[in-house]
Chains A and B, each alone.
Chain A
Amino acid sequence: MTVNVLIGGAAGQGIDTAAAILEKILKQAGYHVFTVRDFMSRIRGGHNFIQIRFGSEPVHSHTHNLDLILALNEETISLHQAELSDNGLIVCDSTTHADDSRLLPLPLNEISKKLGNPRVAGSVAIGTLMALFGLSPELANPVLPSFLNEKYISINQKAVAEGYKLAQQRWSVPSGSCQDWMILSGNKALALGALAAGLKFYAAYPMSPSTGIMEYLAEQSTHCGIVVEQAEDEIAAINMAIGASFAGVRSMTGTSGGGFSLMVEALGLAGITETPLVVVDVQRPGPATGLPTRTEQSDLKFVVSASQGEFPRLVIAMRHHQDLFYQTIRAFNLAERYQIPVILLSDQYLADASATVLPFSLDNLTIETPVQPPEDISDYKRYQITESGVSPRVIPGDPRFLTTADSDEHDEWGRITESAEVRNQMVDKRMRKLDGLKRELEEPELIGDESCDILLVGWGSMYGPLQEAVATLNQEGQHHPGCVSALVFSDIFPLPTKRLTHIAGQARLIVNVEQNATGQIAGLIREYTGLACGRSLLKYDGRQMTGEEIVAGIRKIREVAYE
């Protein structure tokens, strides 16, 4: 059982803080939590909402079926009352005008004024919600200090206590066991992964929805001894990251599609100079400025081919918060091992979503260092032709050898050349790195059984909704023909094809499920396996597909396919 709460209001009304406090309280109560944030691209006004979904079992994604609405303005009610279940509740201030039998008007503002600060109305409401969910009121006390300025803690504690008195328990949700888990946003999980991987230098230009990564890293700058530099533009950001990596420290840059567009030439610079680099693209709908604060998966085909010329690269799509941490660490090591750029594809949905996860483990953490030339050589060749394609990488400052990198085609010593023979050798050497890389690609995760009639194929953040959809569809299995499984890619370019071709061979129909208009992974699959996705479920309105939407779409497809 899950309960789904929507907190809505105008920008500037503090819904973000209220949601951050509530989700942490729920986690402390032991629940699995998944929170999604829907923001307009403005600082004040408009309509923003946050949905917090919690339960005793893992929650993988969001749903639009609401159980409770906390409305800080009237617009929240008119926009969302249709999504509220019949026995749901709308908690709002007593002065709110709305025609709905599920309204629970409470003196939130009056109490907060009495307490001496009208801005604590959100905390009064948190108290009320805690009462409705039957949570112990003490749970709030250790949580509040993490989110509030010290001088406001005590008044907010009082506000929660007052709000708690306003309602009786309404829901009884069996508790989970997440008390000792983490709850954090996708951007923070990725940033944490980078720090664990030994990141020392991060350069970026602020761009929604990637800015949270830079903010978190900057916040930890002195704690972890890293330099976070706000660049003058994304071109500078990636060129700085390449320069720092060349000079021997682990580097990363992050942006969204628009900024990535500016970084494209330098991606090739990392490619030809064989400088390890991690680039994060937190996708949002394009083209151009698109929908700045919303979500899409439309940069896949762009990033797999971005930059002129040909060079090896790895693209990893983030499926969930575990990926955001562990795949980021892996990205740094693969970037170093193969001396290539690695692109991490996240999106606004994951970046801004908070989820409960088992505390990240550093037990198997390894940090790979540049492969060094043998001690006894006298003639160091930075771009030595090797079987693996990987050459020893000396860091400038090494008293043994000098090192030179050049964006021009170069010989083994890094000196410019136009020799046809050397050109071929160098292209072959660089591309040979793919042989090793392909051998260690991770196959997509299978949700459901290997033998299935309908195989759904998705990537990145579609993992959560697909997880829910497959569970629902297979529960209906006895009444409907066609069992459903899903493959969800994280390593996505080069495309791992083994598990896909194996399972697709037995399936009657492949359906690609993507948050874009053109079915980008279907295109990649066609290109690298010849397999055709017979149907597709696509969404590109900037709002993440839900499990229910996938279920509805597959039901339709199933009806037609099994007529």
Chain B
Amino acid sequence: MNDHMHQTQSFDTYETAWCPGCGNFSILPCLQKALTQLNLDPHHVLMVAGIGQAAKTPQYISANGFCGLHGRALPPAIAAKIANEKLTVIVETGEGDSYGEGGNHFIHNIRRNVDITHFVHDNQIYGLTKGQASPTSEIGHVTGVQTNGNINQPLNPVFLALAAGAGFVARAFSGDQKQLVQIMMDAIQYPGYALVDILQPCISFNKVNTFASYKDRVQPLTDSHDPTDFSQAVQAATQTGEQIPTGIFYRVEKPTFHTRHPVLADHSPLIEQTCDPSRIKDLIQSFV
């Protein structure tokens, strides 16, 4: 543990403010491991988050960090990547942030396909605001606000991401660290927008989706699953019943924002490009 964030050599972690037993405690070391195993330089990593418990992650790991507004993690993240493609940009934040307040950005950034990674800590409850229904809470889930049980259908984020055209869609479980590290590494290496929905228990506010209930139900996809087959991906993503499939549902390469953009494709990063003043003079002259 370190006092201050000036370590540029390794992905050290810091003392957190999470509740004891929080699923976030399992996810943070996986992130640390994935980043270290990928041999990335901390100064080339930018962690971006919105607001929430999971969104504190950038505060707890030795990398560059941008903790913006609730629901608004994706816009600054993709813009930072557009500004400097040398950065490895990772959004790490909760499902309320990603799918609730930030739902519009979620859909449209799948369309943009900027090369960033999106780790969603999905505990099916709002933690920071002390236990209201989240976009993925199950029907009937009783909370301090949904006093008679949640009556709104839960969102299926992996299915939505597939439908919106994401090229990398995965689901993981905070209790299966080995799988999580591997998925994280694959997602970070994937050239394009990669979504990993990470199921995790909320020890304080979610008494329905407990560690035990996840542990009993998660079922890693078998080797027979072909992640390049869209229909298999949809089938896995929409599977209902007792078992919750985990793993990489879908992975295909697609043109990214950068490869399609005339200013970014085959050019140096935007931050290194300069516009010669003579070009501005040309424009001025065009109005004469």
Contacts and interface: CB of A to CB of B under 8 A. Distances in A.
Interface of A: 180-184, 188, 192, 195-196, 198, 200-201, 203, 220-227, 229, 231-233, 235-237, 239-244, 246-249, 251, 265-266, 269, 273, 359-360, 362, 365, 378-380, 395-408, 413-416
Contacts of A227: 82, 261, 263-264, 270
B83 A248 contact: yes
A182 B287 CA distance: 5
Contacts of B46: 247, 396
Contact of A405 (B6, B8, B67, B284): B67
B198 interface: no
B79 A201 contact: yes
Contacts of B74: 236
A193 to B, nearest CB: 10
Contact of A196 (B4, B67, B68, B280): B280
B265 to A, nearest CB: 11
Contacts of B261: 227
B42 A240 contact: no
B273 A225 contact: yes
A269 B8 contact: no
Interface string B229-273: 000000000000000000000000000000001111001001101
B170 interface: no
B69 A247 contact: no
Given A224-B279, A240-B78, 14 more contacts: A184-B287, A192-B284, A200-B83, A201-B270, A225-B267, A227-B263, A247-B79, A269-B72, A379-B6, A396-B84, A397-B271, A401-B6, A402-B8, A406-B65
B135 to A, nearest CB: 18
A407 B68 CA distance: 5
Contacts of A398: 43
A235 B79 CA distance: 13
B283 interface: yes
Given A402-B42, A402-B63, A406-B67, A362 B281 contact: yes
Nearest to A403: B64
13 contacts: A184-B287, A196-B277, A200-B270, A200-B273, A224-B280, A237-B75, A247-B84, A248-B271, A362-B277, A396-B64, A404-B64, A414-B5, A415-B59
Contacts of A241: 79
B86 interface: yes
B86 A380 contact: no
B80 A246 contact: yes
A255 B54 CA distance: 32
Contact of A362 (B69, B75, B280): B280
Contact of A269 (B6, B69, B77, B79): B69
B77 A402 contact: no
B11 to A, nearest CB: 11
Interface string B66-107: 111100101111111111101100000000000000001101
B8 A401 contact: yes
Contact of A244 (B41, B83, B275): B83
B227 interface: no
A404 B79 contact: no
Contacts of B82: 201, 227, 229, 244
B65 A405 contact: yes
Interface in B5-22: 5-8, 17
B123 interface: no
A410 B124 CA distance: 29
Interface in B39-55: 41-44, 46, 48, 51
Count class of interface residues, chain B: 35 or more
A182 B288 CA distance: 4
B62 interface: yes
Contacts of B56: 416
B147 interface: no
B285 interface: yes
- Give the 9 A-B CB pairs with smallest separation, nearest first: A243-B76, A243-B79, A239-B75, A247-B83, A247-B80, A182-B287, A232-B108, A396-B64, A240-B79
Interface in B193-226: none
A453 B104 CA distance: 56
B87 A239 contact: no
Contact of A404 (B65, B87, B263): B65
Contacts of B42: 402
A175 to B, nearest CB: 17
B58 interface: yes
A414 B279 CA distance: 39
Contacts of B275: 195, 198, 224-226
Nearest to B72: A239
A188 B6 contact: no
Given A182-B284, A397-B44, A200 B271 contact: yes
B24 to A, nearest CB: 15
A353 B104 CA distance: 35
B86 to A, nearest CB: 6
A251 B79 contact: yes
A221 B84 contact: no
Nearest to B62: A402
B36 to A, nearest CB: 16
A360 B282 CA distance: 11
A359 B58 contact: no
Contacts of B285: 359
Contacts of B59: 404, 406, 415-416
Given A247-B87, A402-B63, A405-B66, A413 B72 contact: no
A8 B255 CA distance: 47
Contacts of B267: 225
A174 B74 CA distance: 58
A232 B105 contact: yes
A246 B86 CA distance: 14
Contact of A378 (B6, B63, B76, B87): B6
Contacts of A231: 75, 108
Contacts of A273: 66, 68
A43 B86 CA distance: 44
Contact of A201 (B8, B44, B83, B274): B83
Nearest to A221: B263
B62 A246 contact: no
Q: Which of B59, B261, B275 has the most CB of A within 10 A?
A: B275
B83 A222 contact: no
Contacts of A401: 6, 8, 43
Contacts of A181: 288
Given A405-B67, A406-B59, A415-B5, A396 B270 contact: no
Contacts of B8: 399-402
Contacts of A233: 104
Given A181-B288, A225-B273, A397-B86, A236 B280 contact: no
Nearest to A398: B43
B28 to A, nearest CB: 16
Contacts of B69: 239, 265-266, 269, 407
B3 to A, nearest CB: 9
Contacts of A203: 75, 79
Given A200-B273, A223-B283, A397 B87 contact: yes
A19 B165 CA distance: 45
Interface string B21-43: 00000000000000000000111
Contacts of A248: 83-84, 271
A243 B84 contact: no
A266 B104 contact: no
A231 B105 CA distance: 9
